[in-house]
Amino acid sequence: MGTTVIRGGLVITAADETNADILIESGRITALAARDSEVARSWAESADRVIDAAGKYVIPGGVDAHTHMELPFGGTFASDTFETGTRAAAWGGTTTIVDFAVQSVGESLRSGLDAWHAKADGQCAVDYAFHMILSDVNEDTLKEMDGLVDEGVTSFKLFMAYPGVFYSDDGQILRAMQRSAGNGGLIMMHAENGIAIDVLVEQALAAGRTDPRYHGEVRHALLEAEATHRAIQLARVAGAPLYVVHVSAMEAVAELSQARDMGLPVFGETCPQYLFLSTDNLAEPDFEGAKYVCSTPLRPEEHQAYLWRGLRTNDLQVVSTDHCPFCFKGQKELGLGDFSKIPNGLPGVENRMDLLHQAVVDGHISRRRWIEIACATPARMFGLYPRKGTIAPGADADIVIYDPGATQVMSAETHHMNVDYSAYEGRTVSGRVQTVLSRGEVVVDDRSYAGRAGHGRFIARETCQYLG
């Protein structure tokens, strides 16, 4: 691999906006210099490749810290494989994903992690890492957590929802938190009171309320807030930091804000679907609402303002996708006549960078905050920084040339995710990915795909770098 120079663009990181040219050697960023300066011109003269970024943004590749490729759920599998899902990620300007390996009840963490390595190995277009889902907290699996941290799987997801599947009780959660307080792992929490939700599901179905919109009603906002509160208190008792995934309810944001005001190491993530979609979508007729069934659920539109505010005040630190696509035909349809059988999840890995750029255009966040919540903080939160998430000497050359002047219409007709619908069908957004580099290799070249399965490598992560 030779040298590449990116010239003429506006380099945006979480910290700065600079008119700078970038030198890339052997897959890494080696230097930045003032745009068109003498030194920058000398790089361009001897480079093997020069990419013209005039009039464009030059941003770090996106880091999506929450994806579920090929996840088994409700008797089916998420429809993107690691191959198709990471290709779509690249198209959308995301160059690192952190996916969730799953421990099945009764199995070891090791066998779950090995299974996810086997799914991803040799398939990925961009780099990837793993979190571990703990479905069965016991003496053996608690011990295994230490070993996983040592091999770069440094975060563990627990569920207060889904009794009988992924659910952990409060005692199990406390034990896992105590363990992570000792080994440096970060506990990620799906915070919904699943025991209470299951009662409401049963009552809704018995009363004949079977349409997708009832999925949102039974997964009550207060049951998200209650679980968020409980998770925070358990983490305090254990002396462990906590990261709450896919926050959607304003009442849950309030719990996080209160904890943050106390100076606690408590972090929150939200997702584009909670920022751009609402229960209006869940209520779409002819079962179309099933396209928007995910957990936590979409909320009434008035919640969105609280999520945006949380992102501005840093009470929420990260936007990930929770990408977990199921086709409408044949998969979402499993829940016809019973919303509780609709596979939970939405496609989005390709859309996140664009939707958040639209949020910049709309005035919700600044350009640097866009990069912070989509690239830099997820990298720091999950031990990938500064290799990922920024543009600086020494970092991997994961770089996106982004055209802020382009417009696009989001659609299943044109997206690259392996799913038969778009959650944002027909939505016009400003801005579009033009060219993408992963470790210096061009994977999207001026809107044509130039990547390959197997380019992406597993990244062993450090522990959380966002503390202290």
- Whether a cis peptide bond, with omega within 30° of 0, leads into 386 is yes
Contact between 70 and Zn ion (CB under 5 A)? no
In the DSSP assignment, the letter for residue 165 is T
- Answer yes or no: are the C-beta atoms of 67 and 98 closer than 8 Å: yes
What residue is closest to Zn ion based on CB? 322
- Interacting residue with Zn ion among 226, 251, 322, 354 (CB under 5 A): 322
Q: What whole-number distance in Å separates Cα of residue 397 and Cα of residue 3?
A: 11
**Number of Cβ atoms within 10 Å of the Cβ of 341:** 16
Which residue's CB is nearer to Zn ion, number 322 or number 398? 322
Burial status of residue 121 (CB atoms within 10 A of its CB: 0-12, 13-18, 19 or more): middle
How far, in Å, CA of 360 to CA of 372, rounded? 12
Per CB under 5 A, the segment of 180-188, 272-280, 314-322, 373-381 that binds Zn ion is 314-322
Q: How far apart are CA 283 and CA 271, in angstroms?
A: 20
CB of 188 to Zn ion, least distance (A): 9
Point out which span in 15-23, 126-134, 230-238, 318-326 binds Zn ion (CB under 5 A): 318-326
Pairing of strands 49-52, 17-25: unpaired
- For residues 191 and 259, which CB has a smaller minimum distance to Zn ion in the complex? 191
| Closest distance to Zn ion from the beta carbon of 340 (Å) | 18
| Consecutive H or E run containing 331 | none
Closer residue to Zn ion in complex, CB, 417/444: 417
Question: Shortest Cβ distance from residue 68 to Zn ion (Å)?
Answer: 6
Q: Which is nearer to Zn ion, 81 or 273 (CB)?
A: 273
- State the nearest-atom distance from the C-beta of 343 to Zn ion, in Å: 12
Are the C-beta atoms of residues 97 and 116 closer than 8 Å to each other?
no
The piece of 9-17, 71-79, 278-286, 315-323 that touches Zn ion (CB under 5 A) is 315-323
Cα Rg of the chain (Å, integer): 21
Compare residues 83 and 269 and give the one whose CB is closer to Zn ion.
269
Query: Min. distance of Cβ 257 from Zn ion in angstroms?
Result: 23
Instruction: Provide the angle, in degrees to the nearest 10, between the axes of the packed helices 139-150 and 109-120.
Output: 40
Q: Which stretch binds Zn ion (CB under 5 A): 7-15, 82-90, 317-325, 452-460?
A: 317-325
227 or 429: CB nearest Zn ion:
227
Binding residues for Zn ion restricted to 429-468, rule: CB under 5 A: none
Contact set with Zn ion (CB under 5 A): 322
